[in-house]
């Protein structure tokens, strides 16, 4: 409770608080002997500087905010690991905020940041976020913002993304090469930049290969609804022979729908899914996946933000950095 302050140390050594402060910062204005005395007493008394006093005076919090839709998804879990690794290394603290895919919450969270609580912001927007007005506002007020994964087209800042269009195209052509003629792309949160890119990659491949009876189907957030939807699709005539699940949580939906309908993956239907789950390879059958470099993306986003914070350059570049996803081909898309 009775924490020791700079004043305590100053009094004990017959110095002024200013001298102690400078000694602790290794200022060249302080003599070596004094520095040593101060530092020794500080460690002896287990002195911990009050971060809020420091932040108040220096107008710097050494804290960043990470704003995410949720941490249920394995992508964001891994991204947090990447972010935290860099933050600890750089001596920054990480505040975490979840929007639960709600634009309102996202706005409420961001509006607080004018207070100076954080020096910078890493964000992956909610699925309801179609415009980046609220994000531009905090940027205009001087807050550096780096997007990772889910970005906003209309906000000019640095963005760390993966090659969604290309990998979706790759996944689709992979299915086509494996013999699929009628591919359904299961989509969620269609307004997101990454969703659009993935859909575009899919459509590009479909058009190039002139496939008919292929297309995009919108799912919602309710597991049961999606099961019903997929079952309906799979039991109609013109049953698809290939499915692309555009997000992790749609994977179980497809597996269960197929099981219920006694359809075989990959014999009846081949499947590729966007997911970071480590269990992909022990699914029945092992799942062909597009795996995003989640850890690296978080790491990169944090690195860029901290570099900017240290250098105090002008604004962050309006730059999009792409870290490639990987296609892991497994049995769920096997030829026969």
Partner DNA sequence: GGTAATTACGTAAACGGTTACGTAAATAAA
Partner DNA sequence: TTTATTTACGTAACCGTTTACGTAATTACC
Is residue 53 a contact point for its own copies (CB under 8 A)? yes
* One residue of 52, 311, 312, 314 binding its own copies per CB under 8 A: 52
Find out whether 211 and 181 touch, Cβ atoms under 8 Å.
Answer: yes
How far is it, in rounded angstroms, from Cα 227 to Cα 243? 14
Q: Which residues contact 161 (CB under 8 A, 6 or more apart)?
A: 147, 148, 149, 151, 193, 194, 297, 320, 321, 322, 323
Number of residues near its own copies (by CB under 8 A): 54
Instruction: Give φ, ψ of 103 to 5 degrees.
Output: -65, -40
Find out whether 273 and 288 touch, Cβ atoms under 8 Å.
Answer: yes
Cα radius of gyration rounded to whole Å, the chain? 26
Please report, as ranges, the residues that interact with DNA according to CB under 7 A: 3, 5-7, 14-19, 21-22, 24-25, 28-34, 47-50, 53-54, 56-59
Which range in 82-90, 172-180, 202-210, 307-315 contacts its own copies by CB under 8 A? 82-90
Token representation of residue 261: 């309908």
| Minimum CB distance to DNA, residue 312 (Å) | 13
How far is it, in rounded angstroms, from Cα 256 to Cα 283? 12
Site string for its own copies, 227-266 (x = CB under 8 A): ----------------------x-xx--xx--x-------
Token representation of residue 277: 């789950």
Which range in 24-32, 72-80, 196-204, 230-238 contacts its own copies by CB under 8 A? 72-80
| Minimum CB distance to its own copies, residue 55 (Å) | 4
Is residue 5 a contact point for its own copies (CB under 8 A)? no
DSSP labels for 64-87?
A: EEEEES-S-SHHHHHHHHHHHHHH
Q: How many CB atoms lie within 10 A of CB 221?
A: 11
Is residue 50 a contact point for its own copies (CB under 8 A)? yes
Q: At what angle do helices 32-44 and 17-24 cross, to 10 degrees?
A: 90
Which range in 64-72, 122-130, 158-166, 313-321 contacts its own copies by CB under 8 A? 64-72
Q: Which does 252 bind (CB under 5 to 8 A by kind): its own copies, DNA, none?
A: its own copies
Q: Which is nearer to its own copies, 115 or 238 (CB)?
A: 115
| Minimum CB distance to DNA, residue 87 (Å) | 19
Find out whether 125 and 152 touch, Cβ atoms under 8 Å.
Answer: yes
- Which residue in 248, 249, 259, 255 sits closest to 289, CA to CA? 248
Site string for its own copies, 136-155 (x = CB under 8 A): -----xx-------------
Q: Which does 221 bind (CB under 5 to 8 A by kind): DNA, its own copies, none?
A: none
How far is it, in rounded angstroms, from Cα 126 to Cα 148? 12
Q: Which does 303 bind (CB under 5 to 8 A by kind): its own copies, DNA, none?
A: none
Residues at the contact surface with its own copies, assessed by CB under 8 A: 1, 3, 46, 48-53, 55-56, 61, 63, 70-72, 74, 76-78, 80-81, 84-85, 88, 93-98, 105, 111-112, 114-117, 141-142, 249, 251-252, 255-256, 259, 277-279, 281-285
């Amino acid at each position: 409770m009775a924490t020791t302050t700079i004043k305590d140390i100053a009094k004990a050594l017959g110095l002024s608080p200013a001298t102690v402060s400078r000694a602790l910062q290794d200022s060249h204005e302080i003599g070596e002997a004094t520095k040593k005395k101060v530092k020794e007493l500080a460690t002896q008394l287990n002195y911990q500087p009050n971060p809020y006093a420091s932040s108040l005076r220096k107008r710097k919090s050494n804290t960043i905010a990470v704003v995410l839709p949720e941490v249920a998804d394995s992508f964001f879990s891994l991204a947090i690991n990447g972010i935290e690794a860099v933050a600890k290394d750089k001596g920054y603290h990480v505040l975490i905020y979840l929007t639960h895919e709600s634009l309102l919450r996202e706005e409420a969270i961001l509006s607080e940041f004018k207070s100076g609580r954080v020096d910078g912001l890493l964000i992956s927007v909610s699925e309801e976020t179609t415009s980046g007005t609220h994000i531009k506002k905090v940027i205009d007020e001087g807050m550096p913002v780096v997007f990772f994964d889910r970005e906003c087209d209309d906000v000019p800042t640095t963005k760390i993304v993966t090659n969604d269009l290309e990998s979706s195209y790759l996944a689709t052509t992979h299915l086509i090469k494996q013999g699929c003629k009628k591919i359904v792309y299961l989509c969620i949160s269609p307004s997101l930049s990454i969703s659009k890119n993935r859909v575009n990659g899919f459509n590009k491949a479909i058009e190039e290969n002139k496939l008919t009876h292929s297309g995009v189907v919108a799912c919602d957030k309710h597991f049961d609804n999606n099961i019903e939807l997929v079952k309906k699709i799979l039991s109609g005539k013109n049953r698809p022979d290939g499915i692309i699940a555009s997000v992790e949580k749609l994977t179980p939906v497809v597996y269960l729908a197929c099981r219920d309908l006694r359809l075989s993956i990959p014999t009846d239907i081949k499947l590729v899914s966007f997911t970071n789950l480590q269990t992909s390879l022990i699914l029945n059958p092992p799942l062909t996946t597009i795996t995003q470099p989640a850890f690296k993306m978080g790491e990169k986003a944090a690195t860029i933000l901290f570099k900017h914070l240290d250098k105090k350059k002008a604004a962050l570049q309006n730059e999009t950095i792409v870290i490639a996803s990987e296609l892991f081909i497994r049995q769920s898309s096997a030829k026969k």
